[in-house]
Structure 1
Amino acid sequence: MKRSTIFLCVSFCMGVIMGSAGQGNTEQWPAFSADLTPPAPDYSRVEYWAALPSIKDKADEVPKRSKGLKDLQAEAKADVFFVHPTIYTYEPTTKYIWNGDVTDAELNKKVEESTILNQASVFNAAGKIYAPRYRQAHFFCYYTSQKKDAAKAFDLAYNDVKSAFEYYLTHYNQGRPIIIAAHSQGTQHAKRLLKEYFDGKPLQKQLVIAYLIGMPIPANYFSQIRPAISAEQTGGFATWCTYAKDYYPLEYENEQYKSLVVNPLTWDTTSVYAERKLNKGGVGLGYKMTSVGVVDAQRHEGMLWIGKPHILGAGLLHTKNWHVADYNLFWMNVRENAVLRVEAFLRNYSGKLPSE
């Protein structure tokens, strides 16, 4: 398979801009208010979902140049509730500055063609994918000095995710095993959702795994949900934030160093170096499958460090923060692991599945 400079433009592929994350900003926006809040989504209507098993959407795709991969949602015995990252990164063109409008066709298209295609689709061999549209907080919220306004925007976004999950539980789940998967802002909301609905609650028995990627999460963040430290462990959570080897991000001293790291090449939390030969393939620009062995990985003090991807033109790469490629760099490893954990869960399932 021909390799190309697939990750040179990965930030454009994913539609996420992270260059200013963690930095202060002196720009002032009008205070958060009801008048600046877009209408709430109605999750009984399919248009308020970016992905549903019952409709054709980008989560049904498999990468170009992949061999033998298929969308297996129709026969899946588990569900995947996926919470997408921040795609509302551009300058607002309406009065809805703090939170994205779920009826905005342009924003919805960006969500579908970036995160749903590149990230949510990784799970279509493991479960039926449910990905709500929600009034995501604008990227500005992460580095503005208007912290109280930003907190209100994040709360609004979380309440949408919560409403979508409650609708999903009532109308779709029917007691099936659940994978919670998310990235970046999505992880911020998903970890809150897990605390409220799963951690030490009856619903925890349905949790296959939580992939909480792209945000630092301490190993002891939950009271009952434990870190997943082996490839087939179920009921736990896995997380990582990807950076170039020897790089320390601005947020390192504040919270990154405290984070759990599960290496997606080994699915453990050791600091043992994982050679790139363990990488089963990534997904790059144009949603194309890469060769195996695209990148190595090693846990280091709350970060997942990688060397330069093994691609043509790697010498030109100077990327330090690989946040936008947290999933893409390890795409096949995540896909196969999700299937493996569902199989392990079903073997150990104490009850009878609704479909049986």
Structure 2
Amino acid sequence: MRYLIIGFLTLLFACNRPYYKMAKNYPHVPPYSTNAIPDYANLNDWAAHPYKKDPADSVPRPLSNGFQPDSTADVFFIHPTTYTEKERSFGWNAPINHTKLNAKTDYSTILYQASIFNAAGRIFAPRYRQAHLSAYFPKNSADSLHAMAAFQEAYSDVKAAFEYYLQHWNHGRPIIIASHSQGSTHAIRLLKEFFDGKSLQQQLVVAYVVGMPVAQHQFKALNACATPQQTGCICSWRSFKEGYTPVYVTREPFKAIVTNPLTWKADEPDTNRFVNEGAVLKNFNKVIPHVVNAIVEKNILWMQQPRFFGSFLLHTKNYHIADFNFFYVNVRENVALRKAAFLSEQK
């Protein structure tokens, strides 16, 4: 299954110019070190940052008319796993200063996911020593121990980046948390440690913790968003083809937060694809409306076979890699709506 996901990644997020051609434009620390600890005072250790030009600043051409970046809030984006090669060339954790891997990260998830939020605030996306994809699929007890250590090391970087951001750049500004996949594994811990019942919760506009299950009772004071304009709450979903529920989901001993990213309403869990205002898939500068519908089904989000040119070749039932991108425009509009509501509440 994980190789189907990687294949889907290639289909959806391949850039017009391959990321390895972009790498030559990137700062490189020769030779790269697998032991290097990130220095978040150094902008090279951020995949996206408001004080430098990066792919998160990009806007799909059909959405660029009248676009003006808004700096009234900050977005802390935690990217998913891009260290996916079959062999763990760098061990269980990726280095943060490897040019090719950084270019892969920046011209996949930073371009295609983090950019969703650039109309709502300044984007901060740290590089971190991410765990290898295989850490989610340990084969034995030894692998499990290595995987736990890998996730801990990765989270320690995310935490350090967030603390540095708070100390040097936040200055009391509203905060939006956004994450996907491994990024959401870390975002759950970050929300619990820094926001849940803490004073910083008062600065939380919304958290989009996508691609990983978030239990409804995961937090003491943070709850699922129930309406499109609600603030200080959590949105989460995992995408699968209608009729398919993975075995591991059926075994989950909790009720997960599942948000419909088309209605954003807890009392409207189902909707058709015509409410979908636009997906951004392989071609970043093409917005495709009505690609999928959305149906909340217990712990996951179901959708019918996606409709875009060539979608008949798509046979996987796991749409994990497109959790955000099937709903690009709807998420973009929703985060702006929640931020406006948050700022209005502060007056």
Quickly name the TM-score band, shorter chain normalised: 0.7 to 0.9
Equivalent in the alignment of 2:9: 11
Q: Which amino acid aligns with 1:88?
A: Y
Q: Larger helix proportion, structure 1 or 2?
A: 2
Aligned to 2:17: none
Q: How far does residue 290 in structure 1 lie from its aligned partner after superposition? A: 2.8
1:112-127 counterparts in 2 under 5 A? Answer: 112-127=106-121
1:246-325 → structure 2 map (5 Å cutoff): 246-255=243-252, 258-270=255-267, 272-325=269-322
The residue aligned with 2:325 is 328
Q: How does 1:9-158 map to 2 (within 5 A)?
A: 10-12=8-10, 13-14=12-13, 38-66=35-63, 68=65, 70=67, 72=69, 75-92=70-87, 94=89, 96-144=90-138, 145=140, 146-158=143-155
| CA apart distance, 1:93 | 6.7
1:171 equivalent to 2:168? Answer: yes
CA distance in 1 between counterparts of 2:56 and 2:269 reads 33
Quickly say closer, same or farther: Cα 1:301–1:188, change in 2 above 3 A: same
Q: CA separation in 2, counterparts of 1:49 and 1:178?
A: 17
Distance 1:77 1:170 in 2: 18
Matches within 5 A, 1:185-264: 185-255=182-252, 258-264=255-261
Structure 2: segments with no counterpart, 5+ residues: 15-32
Q: Percent identity?
A: 45
8 Å CA contact 1:84, 1:131 repeated in 2: yes
Task: Find the aligned partners of 2:93 and 2:208 in 1 and give their Cα distance.
Answer: 24
Contact 1:270 1:299 in 2 (8 A): no
Kept in 1: contact 2:280–2:288 (CA 8 A): no
Cα distance between partner residues in 1 of 2:268 and 2:175: 29
Contact 1:38 1:100 in 2 (8 A): no
Please list the CA deviations of residues 294-347 of structure 1 after superposition, one character each: whole Å capped at 9, or x if unmatched. Answer: 211100011100011222344343220000000000000000001000000000
What secondary structure, in the 3-state scheme, does the structure 2 residue paired with 1:125 have?
Answer: coil
Secondary structure class of the residue paired with 2:288: coil
Assess if the C-alpha contact under 8 Å between 1:263 and 1:304 holds in 2.
yes
The structure 1 segments of at least 4 consecutive aligned residues displaced by more than 6 Å after TM superposition are none
Aligned mates of 1:319, 1:190 — CA distance in 2:
27
The two structures, once aligned, show a CA RMSD in angstroms of 2.0
Give the 3 Å change call, closer, same or farther, for CA 14–254 of structure 1 in structure 2.
farther
Q: Please state how far the C-alpha of 1:169 moved relative to its aligned partner.
A: 0.1
- Report if aligned partners of 2:260, 2:270 keep a CA contact under 8 Å in 1: no
Q: CA deviation at 1:195?
A: 0.3
Partner amino acid for 1:214?
G
**1:260 positional shift:** 1.3
Equivalent residue, structure 1, for 2:339: 342
Code of the aligned partner of 1:247: Y
Instruction: Classify the secondary structure of the residue corresponding to 2:161.
Output: helix
Distance in 1 (alpha carbons) for counterparts of 2:296 and 2:34:
40
Cα displacement string for residues 27-67 of structure 1 (whole angstroms, at most 9, x for unaligned residues): xxxxxxxxx95211000000000000111000000124445
Q: Separation in 2 of the partners of 1:227 and 1:82?
A: 19
In structure 1, the gaps of 5 or more residues are 1-6, 16-35, 351-356
Letter in 1 for 2:339: V
TM-score normalised to structure 2 length = 0.88
- SS class of match (1:199): coil
Distance 1:256 1:110 in 2: 36
Amino acid at match of 1:48: D
**Code of the aligned partner of 1:134:** Y
Q: CA deviation digits over 1:47-88, x for unaligned, max 9?
A: 00000011100000012444526351xx42000000000000
Distance 1:250 1:43 in 2: 40
